[in-house]
Amino acid sequence: MKKGYPLFVLLAVVLFSVAPVMVAQAPYEATMGLVQKIFYYHVPSAMVMFLSAFICGIASAVYLFKARPEADRIAAAAAELTVVFGLIVLVTGPLWARKAWGVWWQWDARLTSTLLMWMIFVAYLLVRRFGGSGAEKLGAAMAVFGMANVPFVYVSVNIWRTIHPTTRVVPTLSPGMRGPFWFCAIAFMLLFGLLLAVRARLEQRRADVEHLYLLADEE
Amino acid sequence: MHRVTMMKLTTWMIALWLVGMSGASLVAQAGAPGATPAAAGQAVGQEPQDQFVPVKSLPQQDQLPASTLLITAYGFVWAVLLVYLWTIWRRLVKVEREMQELSVKIGEKNARR
């Protein structure tokens, strides 16, 4: 990973430079027009948020049952990324909704469940930051609970009445929209992978510092 | 000491709540369609409106500009990602510096032995 990292960074820069051009060239949607183009960043951010929540939950479960510190470090990194990409989803969504629905926010199943899921991961970070000793285990349990929310958030648009578009939108995209969408999705996935690696490295270095403090105290 | 802090905190929270509420009511008043014209109309003594006139499309000033929302959304994504990258970089630099200082400290201690 270390050797390929600069190459992946370069690739991410290229993808994110080309993405706006592809989005600009994508056709307008019939009813929403220009504002629908928020979709090309909003949905990939949501996909990354779900993926990140899953990684955080699985790593936390591994930490809870196997007590492996590296799993905890990955979970902490993924939780932070869930919050970052969740924030993007929760801000770009209302900007789109203001034009498309006429309101910034609607307390429907998808929006409310997404907000709740995001708040669980914010709570995870707060618990880890201010929870004192044992906060890692408590946080890990919260992350598993947060991960369990993901499928409900995803299918909420198909189960309950909501004005949010359903999950059938992406598989049925027209060819003109499909290309830019998957291009942006790949760019976001790549960026997520890179950020996760860097953030996990930061956690590793922090653990090294703690170890050094212990060594300094012993002597 | 703890009680004084709690009282200060409560005072600050009440003050913030009051500022927020007055701000929100100002925004709501300014944003309510027709609120300002009605108030202005009453001020100059005009007759209240008794008929609504339909039009085919909204006047230009009432239409929401999609481009502004789109640019705000994309700008926000870029801003968040760049700020996040900067925070990671800053934290990494801090940890690396701390590690270096500790390594030097441990090395000096070992040399003294």
Q: What is the mean pLDDT of chain A?
A: 93
Contact across the interface for B106 and A212, Cβ inside 8 Å? yes
Closest residue in A to B99 (Cα–Cα): A209
Q: Which residue, A52, A51, A64, A50, is CA-closest to A140?
A: A64
B→A interface, C-beta within 8 Å: 64, 66-67, 69-70, 72-74, 76-77, 80-81, 84-85, 88, 91-92, 95-96, 98-99, 102-103, 105-106, 109-110
Q: What is the pLDDT of residues A191-215, one digit of tens each?
A: 999 999 999 999 999 999 988 888 8
The shortest CB-CB distance from A96 to any of B73, B99, B106 is to: B73
Q: In angstroms, what CA-CA distances link B69 with A99, A108, A193, B72?
A: 8, 22, 29, 5
**Subunit contact A202:B88, Cβ cutoff 8 A:** yes
pLDDT at A219 > cutoff 70: no
Portion of chain A with pLDDT greater than 90, in percent = 83
What tens digit of pLDDT does each residue of B74-95 get?
999 999 999 999 999 999 999 9
Q: Which residues contact A213 (CB under 8 A, 6 or more apart)?
A: B102
Per mean pLDDT, which range of A64-68, A149-153, A182-186, A215-219 is the poorest?
A215-219
Question: A4-13, A35-44, A74-83, A87-96: lowest mean pLDDT where?
Answer: A4-13
- A70 vs B30, which has greater pLDDT? A70
pLDDT at B55 over 80: no
A51-94 tens-digit pLDDT: 999 999 999 999 999 999 999 999 999 999 999 999 999 999 99
- ipTM exceeding 0.85, yes/no: yes
- So what's the pLDDT on residue A162? 85
Closest by Cβ to B88, choosing from A92, A95, A199: A199
The one-letter code for the residue type at A177 is M
> Where do the structural domains in chain A lie, given as residue ranges?
36-218
Confidence of residue B45 (pLDDT cuts 50, 70, 90): low
Q: Shortest Cα distance from A83 to chain B (angstroms)? A: 11
Judge whether residue B26 has pLDDT over 90: no
HEC profile for chain A? CCCCHHHHHHHHHHHHHHHHHHHHHCCCECCCEHHHHHHHHHHHHHHHHHHHHHHHHHHHHHHHHHCCHHHHHHHHHHHHHHHHHHHHHHHHHHHHHHHHCCCCCCCCHHHHHHHHHHHHHHHHHHHHHHCCCCHHHHHHHHHHHHHHHHHHHHHHHHHCCCCCCCCCCCCCCCHHHHHHHHHHHHHHHHHHHHHHHHHHHHHHHHHHHHHHHHHHHHC
